[in-house]
Structure 1
Amino acid sequence: MLRVPVQPALFAWARQRARLDVSTLDARFPQLARWESGEAQPTLRQLEQYAQATHAPLGFFFLPAPPQETLPIPDFRTVGAGVPRVSADLLDVIYACQARQIWYRDEAMVNGEAPLPFVGSLNTATPPAEAARAIRQHLGFSVQARSECPTWTEALRLFIAQAEQAGVMVMVSGVVMNNNNRPLDPQEFRGFALSDAIAPLVFINGADSKSAQMFTLAHELAHLWLGQTAVSDAPLAETPPHAVETWCNQVAAQLLVPDEDFRAVLLPGEALETALKRLAKHFKVSTLVLLRRMRDVGWLDRATFWAAYRAEEARLQALAARSAGGGDFYRTTVARVGRRFAQTLVASTLEGRTLYRDAFRMLGIVKPGTFNELGRTLGFPT
């Protein structure tokens, strides 16, 4: 049987790029250890199956050595030391969002939409509180409206709706496209912004908690107001090494928990656990954000902050591990690509400007019936 000569290092590269280990792939590819050691080579069919399983382009396996892949957008993450190379999942999500943005920009220009004045309207010399005030006023994003939302989910939904009303495509997904077998890792990234004057886009890692997603959205919006494209992990506990990330974090914190509002509701002598529960319900933000803000305004000293932060981080991670997914497929799909994008794409397809094939690819669906039902979910008489 004809075997394909592949450099052994490419098998390990593809496996690590997909965040898979040998034991996970061993059942499907019992010869994998021998392929990686160079003792054996796969057939073409086996190689095609392995490329599909590891989400790697087939052509890469014919290279003389593993390629040095880099992100196609600026990388402001701080998780690099603990994460081996860029994952296939993150790359595929960025490429999918870039394709959607290009399509949306073209469609918007055909429809005569004007550039959005807020994109790139600020710079890092703008005081964070002033920048947060400008974003808050443009979106109509108030603490009062959030505090009246009954749940975290409703508060996040309101925030997303306000951003989309302003012209930002907001996409929230915890998986690659609609593939539930490819979950995204919040430890690798929490979100990214693709800046554009006509088609600004924010992607939020939906595998993160709802309260964490709130901070990520605020952080990525700050990037858009700078007119800057970037992928972030939005760390809260420490000062990021990038000055831009520090500024975006400060703006996000002020946007979600403004100094004047925060100081007004802090109660001297209140137990920390009690304060966190009360303030999280009021501001609808992560308790980690509240701890950071307590440190910022001097309500907590450094030692108390770090002890409380680590304990709360462990509690939230344990809580996230017990939570389960689910929900309506069509509503989930709309959230994953953003309502603004989905409505524009469905309308363009039904009016004949976009091929169904292209719409299916950008939505991550394969059946006409699924597309028609999605259209009905969005209010189209399909």
Structure 2
Amino acid sequence: MPSTKSKRGEVQLFVHSICCSESSKSLICLVMPLVNPDIMVWARKTAGLTIEEAATKIQLERHKLEKIERGEDIPTPSMLRRMAEKYRRPPVTFYLEDIPRKSNYGTDFRGRAKEYTPKEEAHVSALLRYAQSSQQLIRATLELEEEAIILPFVGFLRQKWNLPKEAGSVKQRLLDMSTSQYKESVSDALGGLDLVLGDECTRDIYHAQPNKAKSFKLLRASCERSGIFVILKNDLGSYHTKMSSNLFRAFVVADEIAPLMVINSGDSEAAKSFSLLHEIVHLLLEQTGISDLELSNPIEKFCNQVAGQWLLPSESLKAVWTGDQSRLPELAGMISQLCEQWNLSHMMVATRLHQEGLILQEVYSQLMEVYKFEWERSRQHNQKKSTGKQDGGPGYFTTQRSRLGEGMLHFADRMIQSGGLTVSKAAIILGVKPWNVSKLLNPK
């Protein structure tokens, strides 16, 4: 019978093995690591799960999970696999000696970050881990295949201002600018946007598209041609993990070789376009981070200003605006006409009117209350629709291809074909199981 001896950090198993000679036996000592109870607790909590929720998800009685977390019991391999899946951590994590340091996701530009629940933050953290893992694998593959190229637009503004990469220095620079310097900086940033988007996606071409979805598709394709990977995602693979744009609108890894964006797929098409332009400005500033609807942070205000100016320039707005501020219904009607004409959102047009001094603060506040109410009602309606069965809707692989984008799909397919990327690593980049990679990249 094997004997066991346990102590903190390891378990020793003594087993007999038969040597070449049937009459001789030797004693072999195998040392296997124990899972770290502190890591088990940390992994559960950072997944946003209570002890009861975790026990239910991993199909384990609560008292047994409590014993494991106290170090009084050892989980079986099947338990560990379920924990790794539900906690969204690789199995090797449970054997670490110390709790990992918090990952650096760049700057959190969200204004309401402290208001989110632990479960909401756990979902966001898992999404950011996926994004960073994908980005790091993409960059490593490009370097290995000797295809790594420094993209000139990443850090374009930061270098022009001769600033270090820290967000604090950029923020202070914006605060210290005079009005004329600020306008000049917005103009510089608009030049940076044109550098990224090129001649195939000018403002006029964008506005000439038949609808908002086509306009966003045009913007996204231009970004991908410039070397930016643009993913649309707002969940971790199930409806229960959906994240609204109140939680996050976009995330960008401002890498000079393989910049990657995640845009909230649950947002409207017009909002996606605005977020994409907003995140390009983050790339120009070389600022990795996550954004929501924050309006007070100087960096976010600047990114919003530039995105708004690109979509609706001052001269164009003033040339067509004849709204009467005293009649709110007529004012709202004119805004709707501009939205339809230029494929823009109501909130964006109202904000630009306010920025240009064409509507008063009181009128702007009233309009924004109406638009936010309508947006929330539309979001809830779409959320209810998504919970039901949608016969005839796009299939899983069609949806995944749309979310990953042509840039990501082409990169993965090309690198697999050249041998620069294994199917397993491609699965990590694409966020699917290895056996689904071929179906995803090669639709019938």
* TM exceeding 0.5: yes
Query: Which amino acid letter does the alignment assign opposite residue 423 of structure 2?
Result: Y
Report whether the alignment pairs 1:239 with 2:296.
yes
Change (3 A) 1:51 1:365: closer
Query: Which amino acid letter does the alignment assign opposite residue 442 of structure 2?
Result: R
Identity of aligned residues (%): 22
Segments of structure 1 that go 5 or more residues without pairing to the other structure are none
Structure 1 contact 173–335 (Cα < 8 Å) conserved: no
1:48-81 deviation per Cα after TM superposition (whole angstroms, max 9, x unaligned): 4466434367788899999884653222211123
What corresponds to 2:129 in structure 1?
95
Alignment root-mean-square deviation, CA: 3.6
What corresponds to 1:166 in structure 2?
226
Following the alignment from structure 2 to structure 1, what is the Cα–Cα distance between the partners of residues 92 and 365? 48
Following the alignment from structure 2 to structure 1, what is the Cα–Cα distance between the partners of residues 232 and 100? 30
What corresponds to 2:255 in structure 1?
196
Following the alignment from structure 2 to structure 1, what is the Cα–Cα distance between the partners of residues 90 and 99? 12
Report whether the alignment pairs 1:348 with 2:415.
yes
Change (3 A) 1:6 1:99: closer
Change (3 A) 1:98 1:314: same
Query: Which amino acid letter does the alignment assign opposite residue 316 of structure 2?
Result: D
Report whether the alignment pairs 1:229 with 2:284.
no
What corresponds to 1:120 in structure 2?
155
Report whether the alignment pairs 1:108 with 2:142.
yes
Query: TM-score, normalization: structure 1?
Result: 0.81
Following the alignment from structure 2 to structure 1, what is the Cα–Cα distance between the partners of residues 140 and 84? 33
SS in 1 for 2:370: helix
SS in 2 for 1:122: helix
Of the three residues 398, 401, 404, the one matched with 1:334 is: 401
Of the three residues 205, 211, 222, the one matched with 1:145 is: 205
Q: Return 125-134 or 294-303, whichever deviates more.
A: 125-134
Following the alignment from structure 2 to structure 1, what is the Cα–Cα distance between the partners of residues 244 and 425? 28
Change (3 A) 1:337 1:130: same
Change (3 A) 1:149 1:230: same
Change (3 A) 1:130 1:260: farther
Q: Return 304-313 or 104-113, whichever deviates more.
A: 104-113
Change (3 A) 1:265 1:18: farther
Report whether the alignment pairs 1:74 with 2:107.
yes
Of the three residues 115, 128, 131, the one matched with 2:189 is: 131
SS in 1 for 2:274: helix
Following the alignment from structure 1 to structure 2, what is the Cα–Cα distance between the partners of residues 35 and 376? 43
Change (3 A) 1:105 1:367: closer
Structure 2 contact 353–359 (Cα < 8 Å) conserved: yes
Q: What's the CA shift for 1:223?
A: 0.6
SS in 2 for 1:175: coil
Of the three residues 75, 100, 106, the one matched with 1:44 is: 75
SS in 1 for 2:241: strand
Segments of structure 2 that go 5 or more residues without pairing to the other structure are 1-34, 159-173, 175-181, 387-392
1:281-309 deviation per Cα after TM superposition (whole angstroms, max 9, x unaligned): 12322211111111111122111211211
What corresponds to 1:251 in structure 2?
306
Following the alignment from structure 2 to structure 1, what is the Cα–Cα distance between the partners of residues 410 and 246? 31
Of the three residues 243, 260, 279, the one matched with 1:184 is: 243
Following the alignment from structure 2 to structure 1, what is the Cα–Cα distance between the partners of residues 149 and 97? 48
Structure 1 contact 172–337 (Cα < 8 Å) conserved: yes
Rg larger in structure: 2
